[in-house]
Homo-oligomer: A and B are copies of this chain.
Amino acid sequence: MAQIAPAALSSLQSGLRGWVSGATAILFAIFVRYNRETDAALWHGGNHSNADNEFYFRYPSFQDVHAMVFVGFGFLMVFLHRYGFSSVGFTFLLAAFALQWSTLVQGFLHSFHGSHIHVSVESMVSADFCAGALLISFGAVLGKTGPAQLLLMALLEVLLFGTNEFVLLDLLGARDAGGSMTIHTFGAYFGLVVSRVLYRPWLEKSKHRQSSTYHSDLFAMIGTIFLWIFWPSFNSAPTSLGDTQHRTALNTYYSLAASTLSTFALSALVGRDGRLDMVHVQNAALAGGVVVGTSGEMMLTPFGALAAGFLAGTVSTLGYKFLTPILESKFKVQDTCGVHNLHGMPGVLGALLGVLVTALTTHQAYGDGLQAVFPLIAEGQRGATSQAVYQLLGLCVTMAFALVGGSLVGFLLRLPFLDSPPDSQCYEDQMCWEVPGECTDEAQVPLSVEEPDTRA
């Protein structure tokens, strides 16, 4: 086992980080400008009443998405009892990096006019979405990768995410507001393939750290609940103002409620002596948000949302119970957070649900609202079936990007100078963090404060 001196590691990592933020800054200086709604000189030149209105909604929504990505993903992964600093810290680092880098990547692909990228609050929502996909992949490799590996993965995954999203939304004209395909399916399978390539046959050396404690599970529930409450905002953030945004929020909400109920029911059913499992509650209860990522803006109907959520919670809970061990033993995929169950399968289900609901589109059901959801159908360029085929194509393209991209990136992450942690030091904060001693004597026993006088 080639041991690289931590000092060398440190300077390599710092070098990568320095280069990354230095290069990003230079690209910002050259290319990035405020857009019409953000620039002082451009904004006041015309009548912006509609843009104005648009903004009122988007802005709070942006903060909700932000809260969901940072608090939600950050704390959801704190469940490991010796990897909490890394989980929340690297989430923070990766998200901050992805926000900058994906602003550039998405900007070049979507809003590059007159040799400049034009940014606005909407750029922030797009970047948060990209950070979401990255953090899903992080969940698959959690505890088994060093910071330099993670930064390289982020650098490349943001590129692939942006390209895949561009192909799906701009070239194929597929619809995917809440990202069942672009965020969840892509992020999960990309991460799973990376994890497969980085397979560690002797990971059981760190098995004693791959568990939670009582309090680490409570910290993780902070993440779960923040993901739950802000998911309606997440799915509806990029949809059209008005009924579409209402409908997306409502569908997401019903789907989440249903997946929560089915998760509790299934978890007790398959649990030892009927006991509930925190892993299921923390994760599978959220599958309802994933499964309506594509179809949430469509006329899914409230019952459709409930049924989809119920199915997603069921599949996800069963996945945690039965599929994850098989994935590891048979397919050599070590999926730390079970992203295959929370994002992978529900994401694919969500994409297929999107195909189905798209195929059922009629002018009658959508009326004048068709333009907002399916502009190509409304303009007569496509029929419902044709659009459904493009949706399915979108899923295939996403899988291809995730599988091929993940393989390539996985092999790159095996480069020795990226300093992967040894098998015996996985899931261990002390590899990268100064960790305080847990319990001093004093913290354990009541302190010997000089007993103060009583109120005689």
Contacts and interface: CB of A to CB of B under 8 A. Distances in A.
Nearest to A84: B218
Contact of A24 (B81, B245, B306, B433): B306
Contact of A257 (B99, B221, B370): B99
Nearest to A271: B434
A325 B328 CA distance: 49
B209 A85 contact: no
Contact of A243 (B39, B64, B272): B39
Contact of A21 (B7, B265, B271): B265
A97 to B, nearest CB: 6
B67 A278 contact: no
Contacts of A423: none
A224 to B, nearest CB: 8
A59 B61 CA distance: 9
Contacts of A241: 52
Given A81-B436, A96-B257, 12 more contacts: A25-B306, A29-B303, A33-B302, A44-B368, A45-B368, A59-B60, A97-B257, A124-B250, A275-B434, A276-B433, A278-B433, A438-B439
A274 B10 contact: yes
A273 B452 contact: yes
* CB-based closest 3 A-B pairs: A10-B274, A40-B369, A44-B368
A212 to B, nearest CB: 5
Contacts of A257: 96-97, 99-100
A219 B218 contact: yes
A378 to B, nearest CB: 11
A417 interface: no
Given A119-B250, A213-B439, A453-B6, A221 B21 contact: no
**Dominant SS among interface residues on chain A:** helix
Contact of A247 (B40, B306, B454): B40
A198 interface: no
Interface stretch (A87-95, A133-141, A158-166): A87-95
Contacts of A271: 10, 434
A301 B38 CA distance: 10
Interface string A268-308: 11011111111001000100000000000001011100110
A40 B428 contact: no
Contacts of A307: 25
A303 B28 contact: yes
A6 B274 contact: yes
Contacts of A40: 243-244, 247, 299, 365-370, 372-373
A250 B125 CA distance: 11
A120 interface: yes
Nearest to A123: B250
Contacts of A82: 442-443, 447
